[in-house]
Amino acid sequence: MLEMVSYNFKIVSGVPQKSSVTRVPEISKDQLGDIIENVVRKTNTDPDEFEELDLSMFSTIDEQLEFLKQQDRVDTMYIM
C-alpha cells in the first residue's frame, strides 16, 4: 500500500499557499496508476512527459526533497 497527498497551490505576494489538501492514507499501486492515467487523459498530456521515480527508500519527505534537489528534479522556488 502507498500513501498519497494531493494539493493545489497558488502564489500570493510571492508566497506559495496550499489549498484543497487531500490525503489518502492507503492506496494500492493499481489505484494510483488509474488516477495518473485519468489525469494524463483529462489534461491532454503525453505520457512521455511524466517520469516515475521510486522514492520509497527514503523515510521522510525531507529526504525525498533533498534527493530530488541533488538530481535537479525539483523547482526549489516553491520549496519552503
- pLDDT tens digits, 39-51: 888 888 887 887 7
Interatomic CA distance for residues 33 and 18, integer angstroms: 24
What pLDDT score does 9 carry?
76
Cβ proximity of 9 and 78 under 8 Å: yes
Name the grid cell of 32: 494510483
Residue bearing cell 494531493:
6
> CA distances (Å), 9 to each of 12, 26, 36, 53, in order?
9, 23, 19, 22
pLDDT band per the 50, 70, 90 thresholds, residue 79: low
